[in-house]
Structure 1
Amino acid sequence: MLNSLRNIVQEVNTARDLKAALAIIVSRVKAAMETHVCSVYLRDGKGGYVLMSTDGLNPDAVGKVHLAPDEGLVGRVVVREEPINLEHAETHPKYQYFPETGEERYSSFLGVPIIHHREVLGVLVVQQIERRRFDEGHEAFLVTMSAQLAGVIAHAEATGALEYMGQKAVEAKFVGVAGAPGVAIGQAVVMAPPADLDAVPFKRCSNIDEELVFFHRSLVAVRNDIRALGDKLKPRINREEQALFDAYVGMLDDAALGGEVTERIRQGISAPFAWREVILEHVNNFSSMNDAYLRERAADVRDLGRRVLAYLQESAQQCRTFPKNTILVGEELTASMLGEVPKDKLAGLVSVQGSGNSHVAILARAMGIPTVMGAVDLPYTQLEQRELVVDGYHGRVYSDPGPELRRHYEAICLEEQELVRGLEALKELPCETQDHHRVPLWVNTGLMADVVRSLERGAEGVGLYRTEVPFLLRDRFPSEEEQRLIYREQLEAFAPHPVTMRTLDIGGDKSLPYFPIEEANPFLGWRGIRVTLDHPEIFLAQVRAMLKASEGLNNLRIMLPMISSVLELEAAQTLIYRSFHELLEEGHKIDLPPIGVMVEVPAAVYQARELAERVDFLSVGSNDLTQYLLAVDRNNARVADLYDAFHPAVLRALQQVVADAHSQGTPVSICGELAGDPGAALLLMAMGFDVLSMNATNLPKVKSVIRSVTLEQAEDLLAEVMQLTDADAIGHFVENSLQRAGITKLLRPANA
């Protein structure tokens, strides 16, 4: 059964469209389970389910048999969201007869739900004439098959592949990770990695004759390359191996691969996608052969496919045009890909891979481009030229938005623009409540591009400078002098305001290409201070660079990440003191900067008092703290709904940290995304946080909200919130409270 499953999945993955995929599944599953019928029912967009494909029932019934969610045995599977296995289906009270299917001849029934993100997309059914109780192995096989089918159907809904069945898909939603805040509406431009057959986006060609000329020109170029390579290797290989090059050239002829691709181009498909389809079909055919020699030819076909694709992509790239509001989409976007799009046309970014800490996400935040990362279920190769909505606040992507959804997000975009214009006047005003409680607002930075935006928005300091960014953007460790120049630039830009520099924080989802950290559970592994304490040469060079960069400015603060014990803190302090005294001996005129600890693991929460005794400040990293308290990977889109910093456990932990820090006379700040949420900022202020540090984009909104209330109102809000028992209730309560206070506009974009 395992081999059958593997072969079916391979065939489905190379299917041209959903109709072909469903046909493969029903026929192959029927054969693998040695039964008489296999059918697929899919939801119809009206709350019901319709027969979409069958092998065994009357094919004329496809598209005509509709069931309500609780109708018939299929409806029963939908409602229960679990398999139903019946030996004598006709006797079940939910059995319903549909004459057009001809199913009255079948007694046995096994149906399993097709579930994607907790939604029942359809039902996969097998039936048999004789009474038969399908065994556990068959049931497990069908459940596994339905799990594979779920992704195919979800992708089809998103890309409009169901249109031919009268079910035009609209407002398909995909969940990722918020990369950079904001909302963008625009046209998708898919950036595929070079010569990757699996990542070629689907496109149609407008001029078939030109596309054919373009394709055959590329074939000629590859033929010439292969012949030249064969001639070059001729003295070093035998005659049999030389024949391989002739075989490569022959495969490109019109009687072989070239001819198959030409036929597809004549149907209006672009040359790169047509080539991809043909090559992958042949690769799949060779891979499934029993003969070992023929199976190995699959690699030859794939190699040839990449060679031709490289020419097709290079030529296509030269004539690529970008629409006015480009949404750049790719499996893994890079900074160089961003550089290809004119600055005035880049509206948003969507990456299938990556996290909120990826290079692209950091750069996007600095540039103010709404971004969603980690959209793992997004069928990005099918989205070329389709309209997308990018919700960078919540990590959502919508394909082909309907009129209502589009109007909703257009209103948010307009509100954002009006809000920015309206908040510009606040730049020079202090961030204080109506009863004169002062709350300094600092910013989180990582690139020099952040500096201008931060100062324009009225930042009073830097609560988190991510020193790992210069490390991430290089192919080797930066030298001490290179680091000094980078740090000096940051310190000078914000002087005399304080700049809090976090020591190198790698590991987890931030690995250096030249210093890879591969672990089964990276977030609980070798990261943050654990790495730099194990490599004091890295830590000492960085601290020396920071101290030298602060000479004459004295606005540096050093912050230690991922501290989970007093021993780690003391070990890091010892190295900092050592560097400081060495530089004094070398003649540098520097002051010892304040040293602080990031509170981002539960251990630090419960040792906050002991840590506060030994440092100059504490700073809560709410992103990681929420992740660890809730046991939810914040960069995993599949559990994104569980990650919520309004969770009562998180709020109680924050309150405890403030109380313990203040008991020792130690100031405490917060530098996670929570600080940039206007509603949350009021709760944090009421808890007693001394500084709020956030993305520069959110700073004006937070300042405006704080200036709109009194401290007493914020404290009353916090008291009510701390009585609530779940994150959703807290979020709604905060939003409703601020709506009653008349400051809804400041919240709506962040609560889209």
Structure 2
Amino acid sequence: MLGSLRSIVQEVNTARDLPSALDIIVRRVRDVMQTKVCSVYLRDKHSGNYVLMATEGLNQDAVGQVHMAPGEGLVGNVATREEPINLEHAEAHPAYQYFPATGEERFSAFLGTPIIHHRNVLGVLVVQQAERRRFDEGEEAFLVTLSAQLAGVIAHAEATGALATMGQQRNEAKFAGLAASPGIAIGRAHIVAPPANLATVPFACSMDVDAELALFQQALAAARSEIREVGERLKNDLNKEERALFDAYISMLDDSSIAVEVCERIRQKLTASRAWAEVMLEHVRRFEAMSDSYFRDRAADVRDLGARVLMHLRQQEQSQRDYPANTILIGEELTASVLAEVPREKLAGLVSVKGSSNSHVAILARAMGVPAVMGAQELPWEQVDGVDMIVDGYRGDLHLQPGPELRRHYEAIVAEERELARNLDHLAKLPGETADGHRVRLWVNTGLMADVVRSLERGAEGVGLYRTEVPFLLRDRFPSEEEQREIYHEQLAAFAPRPVTMRTLDIGGDKALTYFPIEETNPFLGWRGIRVTLDHPEIFLGQVRAMMKASLGLDNLRIMLPMITGVSEVEAARKLVNRAYDELIDEGYAIKRPPLGIMIEVPSAVYQARELAKRVDFISVGSNDLTQYLLAVDRNNSRVASIYHSFHPSVLQALLQVVTACHETSTKIGICGELAGDPGGALLLVAMGYDVLSMNATNLPRVKAALREVNKSDLDRLLQQILTMESPEQIEEKLHGYLQDLGIGGLVQPQKAEASSDS
């Protein structure tokens, strides 16, 4: 049955809508299992009952009319027990209930399996047979497996409102991702589909049939021209059989039957891309089902041809695309180029199925102040085009089809945020210090020139982390030394005379360059940060030379080394920095030697902090990665995100240990990470003795406002209390209560306040 299972799942996943998917299920399962009946019952979230939604073998008039409460009848018992029920003589079971409308009195054998998604029973899949017999283990396993596959389809249908078209009430749906850029976006989803993937073309209609027909013909013509051009260019490199493939492609494009099928679907109001995808996927399935291996192999050719034409259709659609106000851009993996196509005034939020909070799109979103969620892997993104939704960039939550109450809740948060921002504007020109005069430097993390204006407007006193990898991520090759010099000079000049801390190239982990791929089983424990650049001194030297040249006449550069694990790496890097400096002096550049510092991001550096501090001019803790490594939690993995906690007692003890080592060696100590941008976290760091807090520009006014309301002596007492606590929840609750008592609880971002109240 494995081949049948794969075929059914493929058909279901490409079905036009939920009713079509359910019809495929009941029809194909009945045929494969050779039963008389196959039916699907779905839970109505409004009533909680299970409703007959599709059947082959029972009376069709019963669809939508038969309802069973949990525990009622055999179907209701499958739902409450959350396990299959397999009966030889169903009528003899005490839970059996007769529904005249179905006509099921003719059937004895019964097998029902629950459809479960994230511990919720969404429905029940049933097969029945007239004669008395028990379905065997293979049949039961087949139905259980199919139910698990169907669960995702049903969950997606609930999320996108597809169940509303089948008579059920439209419901709110919530999906979780990774918070990538803070803020709340309330708007309408706009899908950016991969340019050449037939399976991910969303179902969409168009009222302008003539325009879609013209679009289809243009795409066919463009694909023909492209294939002929490629075939001509490669004809001397290919043998006769290989050249024949291009002729076969042209022949398929000229096949009038395919074009007729597509045009017929377009006339049924489908968009050209959806019509083409449906027809080509049906042809792919026909080839895959053939017994002859030669013809089965041709399925790949059909898929490739389909992708080529689809790419041209997408290009045509892109040029005609009109973005509505409050657009929430959604894609499997958003890119900077896609983001640039949306007018800034219309872009409300971003959602990417793949990617992390450190992807360059996430960095760009933060620079632009656009709320964003990455890694939303459960989101049925292909099916939500045009759906009303809310993006919670604080918590990483996505709400589809929000009801009036939920919408009002988030609108209130947006209003509060705007009011708070207005009330904090006056702080920009005031120093970062406590009420009793303890001075702390408040710097910003940047990566793009778009960050500069927002940072200076909010009163940034310097740059604690300039991510030099961003210009590398936004190119398709390594930038030259002169290109880097221009970029770095622009950043240094914008902040002068304020200090700018430039981190040397930090790639690897979840930051990969397309032109310098690093394939590893465990990238976060692999070749990343300083390890890469020490192995490639030509990259390191070129970058450091560009930084120093960029600082000519400004002298506000600080160089910082990432991912340091021990003394030997610092010494090796210092030799290269000194070499670059000496070369530039010999070349006639009148530059000052910049301070050299390191990032402490891994546990080994915490335990060698004193030895490391003796060898550098400053230290900055990268709290995000340090927390990740201390807790053994991938912060970009939504499955374990709930146990990634910056206030974990072990993290706080490590942060305190680094400060102590730096104070003993008179080394300046700072921190750049999410913890520094949290008002409560910032107060703890000040109490520990951190000299510099570097954060996202958005959070700087909040931190400064909290800082100016407290006395350093009070913070010292608060820290001593917190260091005795044993759980991050206790610590966060204590901090939130402390801010509330001071009358500044409103500075806490929404997700922090809510987390504290739940603890």
TM-score over 0.5 for the alignment?
yes
C-alpha separation in 2, matches of 1:68 and 1:3: 35
Where does residue 543 of structure 1 map in the other structure? 544
Where does residue 555 of structure 1 map in the other structure? 556
> Residues 9-408 of structure 1 correspond to what in structure 2 (within 5 A)?
9-29=9-29, 38-46=38-46, 48-51=48-51, 52-55=53-56, 60-68=61-69, 83-84=83-84, 95=95, 97=97, 99=99, 105-106=107-108, 109=111, 111-116=113-118, 118-124=119-125, 130=132, 132=134, 134-135=136-137, 141-212=142-213, 214-215=215-216, 244=248, 247-251=251-255, 253=256, 256-408=257-409
C-alpha displacement of 1:488: 2.5
Closer, same or farther: CA 226–512 of 1 in aligned 2, 3 Å: closer
* 3-state SS of paired residue (2:521): coil
C-alpha displacement of 1:502: 1.1
The more displaced of 35-44 and 596-605 is 35-44
C-alpha displacement of 1:659: 3.2
TM-score between both structures, scaled by the size of structure 1: 0.89
2:358 partner amino acid: N
C-alpha separation in 2, matches of 1:34 and 1:715: 75
C-alpha separation in 2, matches of 1:346 and 1:30: 48
C-alpha separation in 2, matches of 1:527 and 1:479: 21
Q: What residue ranges of structure 2 are gaps of 5+ in the alignment?
A: 755-759
The more displaced of 83-92 and 311-320 is 83-92
C-alpha displacement of 1:10: 1.6
Closer, same or farther: CA 380–722 of 1 in aligned 2, 3 Å: same
C-alpha displacement of 1:593: 2.9
Is the CA contact (8 Å cut-off) linking 1:186 and 1:327 kept in structure 2?
A: yes
1:24 partner amino acid: I
* 3-state SS of paired residue (1:637): coil
C-alpha displacement of 1:210: 4.6
* 3-state SS of paired residue (1:388): strand
C-alpha separation in 1, matches of 2:381 and 2:709: 43
C-alpha separation in 2, matches of 1:666 and 1:232: 63
Where does residue 6 of structure 2 map in the other structure? 6
Where does residue 672 of structure 1 map in the other structure? 673
Q: Deviations over 1:240-274 (max 9, x none)?
A: 879736742443x2xx2333333333333222212
Is the CA contact (8 Å cut-off) linking 1:439 and 1:691 kept in structure 2?
A: yes
Where does residue 742 of structure 1 map in the other structure? 743
Closer, same or farther: CA 164–248 of 1 in aligned 2, 3 Å: same
Where does residue 655 of structure 1 map in the other structure? 656
2:15 partner amino acid: A
C-alpha displacement of 1:498: 1.8
Q: Deviations over 1:363-388 (max 9, x none)?
A: 22211111222222222232222222
C-alpha displacement of 1:131: 5.5
2:641 partner amino acid: A
C-alpha separation in 2, matches of 1:708 and 1:678: 11
C-alpha separation in 2, matches of 1:228 and 1:466: 42
For the pair 1:459 / 2:460, whether they are aligned, the reply is: yes
* 3-state SS of paired residue (2:640): helix
* 3-state SS of paired residue (1:184): strand
* 3-state SS of paired residue (1:97): coil
C-alpha separation in 2, matches of 1:305 and 1:508: 35
Is the CA contact (8 Å cut-off) linking 1:26 and 1:53 kept in structure 2?
A: yes
* 3-state SS of paired residue (1:269): coil
C-alpha displacement of 1:664: 3.5
| CA RMSD, 1 decimal | 3.4
C-alpha displacement of 1:668: 2.3
Is the CA contact (8 Å cut-off) linking 1:115 and 1:122 kept in structure 2?
A: no
Percent identity between the two aligned chains: 62
1:463 partner amino acid: G
The more displaced of 5-14 and 740-749 is 740-749
C-alpha separation in 2, matches of 1:379 and 1:635: 19
C-alpha separation in 1, matches of 2:228 and 2:483: 48
The more displaced of 98-107 and 521-530 is 98-107
Is the CA contact (8 Å cut-off) linking 1:50 and 1:63 kept in structure 2?
A: no
Is the CA contact (8 Å cut-off) linking 1:464 and 1:499 kept in structure 2?
A: yes
* 3-state SS of paired residue (1:414): helix
> Residues 615-626 of structure 1 correspond to what in structure 2 (within 5 A)?
615-626=616-627
Closer, same or farther: CA 740–569 of 1 in aligned 2, 3 Å: same
C-alpha separation in 1, matches of 2:323 and 2:279: 28
Closer, same or farther: CA 122–687 of 1 in aligned 2, 3 Å: farther
TM-score between both structures, scaled by the size of structure 2: 0.88
C-alpha displacement of 1:60: 4.8
C-alpha separation in 2, matches of 1:2 and 1:674: 50
Q: Deviations over 1:598-638 (max 9, x none)?
A: 12222223333333333332222122122222322222234
C-alpha displacement of 1:580: 3.3
Closer, same or farther: CA 538–312 of 1 in aligned 2, 3 Å: closer
C-alpha separation in 1, matches of 2:559 and 2:497: 16
C-alpha separation in 1, matches of 2:14 and 2:569: 52
Q: Deviations over 1:186-206 (max 9, x none)?
A: 222222343432333332212
* 3-state SS of paired residue (1:162): helix
Closer, same or farther: CA 664–144 of 1 in aligned 2, 3 Å: farther
1:43 partner amino acid: R
Q: What residue ranges of structure 1 are gaps of 5+ in the alignment?
A: none
The more displaced of 154-163 and 205-214 is 205-214
C-alpha separation in 2, matches of 1:617 and 1:229: 56
C-alpha separation in 1, matches of 2:415 and 2:566: 48
Closer, same or farther: CA 80–496 of 1 in aligned 2, 3 Å: farther
C-alpha separation in 2, matches of 1:538 and 1:317: 37
2:113 partner amino acid: G
Number of aligned residues: 746
The more displaced of 435-444 and 83-92 is 83-92
Closer, same or farther: CA 667–143 of 1 in aligned 2, 3 Å: farther
1:601 partner amino acid: V
Is the CA contact (8 Å cut-off) linking 1:47 and 1:69 kept in structure 2?
A: no
Is the CA contact (8 Å cut-off) linking 1:49 and 1:122 kept in structure 2?
A: no
Is the CA contact (8 Å cut-off) linking 2:189 and 2:330 kept in structure 1?
A: yes
C-alpha displacement of 1:469: 1.2
* 3-state SS of paired residue (2:296): helix
> Residues 706-745 of structure 1 correspond to what in structure 2 (within 5 A)?
706-745=707-746
